[in-house]
Structure 1
């Protein structure tokens, strides 16, 4: 990949390569757009097969964070970090602290958070080196695990799409297939159970499937077959890239709405394929913003009531996106992009003599969290 050429093509501001021989850190931080404020996004830890694969992933995820934060109404830009490592074998406090020092060197341009492969404890290790991190444990004043508000937002988004497609937000009796029952997918099952939906679940981890099925009455399905089920809603809640030329023709649902980031391999092309089949696609960064909405609240003092009040608005955001797509006869992918671009235009139209954005917790350096605590 030609890095500078790719940055220019997708309007990236900055990409930072991180290396620390002592700890084995090999990471990349991508800052896509800071029009609305400092770049905010999680740090993913995964055993990428190559540096090129890691770079492609961090750039793709960073761009999605720009649009997610914009549509969610947050005053943060889009950024993302990746660390090339096996989170089960290679992760250590020293490695995460080394990564934290790279974040700190950016002076607040990037605010890190949790993602696949990283945990609250990892965020705490990063916090020992920099204040520019969210997703801390609740005992340290953070939001803790954001899976619950993320699932809550997914549930609200599915209800909004149900109202659009079926004329009724109620999910009672609706057949819903969930691919991936990790923290978010399993929490979503509980919300759907409360509404009386008929739930089908799958996961690469059969133990998780058995546990969630026992708790919610969901019906287990082979992971490779769940997208083929005849259901009302297919909800991808695992890793992205599952909907493409081969799998989209196999879908037998009316709605695709889930927590997975970038579920479409080629966003616009495959959004059009879904639309041509009469399937409503709820864009990932519109429906799954509950996590970043929750974690970003740490910067003004975490308050769970305020978090759920804000996440409730995902219902309205999904409704707005679907209305734009219908009224303008465009895909939902284009409609979501139009919503994001409107935020950028509004921000650029605000006259200012100088621009300096400092969330309250960053107004002064403050004490670092000591290792002994």
Structure 2
């Protein structure tokens, strides 16, 4: 099947495949839209089952970055990169440098940063081969913590702000006593758990890797739940914080939460899922709006800004979601569709 015929093609500007025989690197970069500026988006390393899965992922993710940047009010477009392989086994410094050479072929139309399976140190290695990297350093942080270039703290804080807005919209209350299930306790999920715990939320957590789960249980009083069971838990908020397609035809009817709001990209398997959630009275916080904290952080680090401006921008995520929720209530349209229309007004 041609890339142009792919169901997720969505008028992408540039899709490129790369193989470096010496390091074993196999990767794809997709730039969706640069009307507002160069395409910026993270590089993900994942052990994809096949190349079609990888292509689908990078096309969906890069498109999402265009919408994310537009809704966050940033002067940049959307792009994404994926690397085939297990980051715990296959990643090498030489491979990361080769990935930097691949990024450099875009001549600044794509700027890469950290994503799942890729650390700040990996981006620094890519930076030895290209100047078109971001998130390798920070001049300041929104909360006064150590600024090391990792966008995860800002992403987690933005999701926290978004969850507060969603809970206020549905329950007209704060987070105290609210039951929240977090699926995926990685760099973002564990920080989200900390924010929610401080606000008095009751946490349930699941992950295929035990480290984050063990920390959430020990430090935040979370309850461990099997990955297979957490989707259908009887909670107030379900927060998908792992991979995409978290809400799909297989689990949508078992979800009991009144709110779906998490850090994962491309949470809805299809647009029809968003419509069905609306019909069932489940409030969905569009993923590219609520998880925009990381890209907002990276943008501020690259421009003439400061910690106060960054924090104010992150807090606007809640305000944007409140606007989307209100418009959805008024029009009867799914929140995802409302967000898409607002974003398209900005970048098309």
1:54-108 alpha-carbon deviations (Å, 9 max, x no partner): 1111111111111011101111111001111221122122211111112112111
**CA pair 7-217 structure 1, distance change in 2 beyond 3 A:** closer
1:133 is matched with 133
Q: Which runs of 5+ in 2 are unaligned?
A: 142-146
Corresponding residue for residue 164 of structure 2: 159
1:230 Cα deviation from its structure 2 partner: 1.2
- CA drift at 1:344: 2.0
Residue number in structure 2 paired with 1:359? none
Contact 1:237 1:258 in 2 (8 A): yes
Residue 288 in structure 1 maps to residue 296 in structure 2: no
Name the counterpart of 2:234.
Answer: 230
Which stretch of structure 1 is more off in the superposition, 135-144 or 23-32? 135-144
Show the counterpart of 1:69. 69
Shift of 1:195: 1.1
Aligned twin of 1:190: 194
Question: Where does residue 182 of structure 2 map in the other structure?
Answer: 178
1:16 and 1:204 map into 2 onto residues whose CA distance is: 31
CA gap 1:211/1:164 in 2 versus in 1, 3 angstroms: same
Match of 1:19 in 2: 19
CA distance in 2, matches of 1:181, 1:258: 11
Aligned-pair CA distance for 1:297: 2.1
**Is 1:338 equivalent to 2:341 in the alignment?**
yes
CA deviation profile, 1:164-218 (whole Å, cap 9, x unmatched): 11123x1111111111111111111111111111111111123431221110011
Runs of 5+ in structure 1 lacking a partner?
346-373
Please tell me whether residue 115 in structure 1 is matched to residue 127 in structure 2.
no
What is the CA distance between 1:33 and its match in structure 2? 0.5
Count how many residue pairs are aligned between Structure 1 and Structure 2.
343
Quote the Cα distance in structure 1 between the aligned partners of 2:35 and 2:91.
Answer: 33
Distance in 2 separating the partners of 1:330 and 1:176: 25
Find the counterpart in structure 1 of residue 144 from structure 2. Answer: none
For 1:312, what is the secondary structure of its paired residue? helix
Match of 1:256 in 2: 260
Aligned 8 A contact 1:68 1:286 in 2: yes
TM-score normalised to structure 1 length:
0.88
Q: Give the aligned partner of residue 369 of structure 1.
A: none
Q: Distance in 2 between matches of 1:302 and 1:183?
A: 25
Structure-2 residue corresponding to 1:43: 43
1:240 Cα deviation after fit: 1.6
In structure 2, the residue matched to 1:145 is: 150
1:56 maps to 2:49? no
In the other structure, the counterpart of 2:330 is 327
- Name the CA shift for 1:319/1:8 in 2 (closer, same or farther; >3 Å): closer
Identify the match of residue 270 of structure 1 among 269, 273, 276: 273
Confirm or deny: 8 A CA contact 1:143 1:302 kept in the other structure.
Answer: no
Counterpart-to-counterpart distance in 2, 1:8 and 1:234: 26
Quote the Cα distance in structure 1 between the aligned partners of 2:347 and 2:305.
26
Q: Counterpart of 1:118 in 2: which secondary structure? A: coil
Q: Is the partner of 1:262 in helix, strand or coil?
A: coil
Q: Which moved more, 1:250-259 or 1:291-300?
A: 291-300
Larger Rg: 1
CA RMSD of aligned residues (A): 1.9
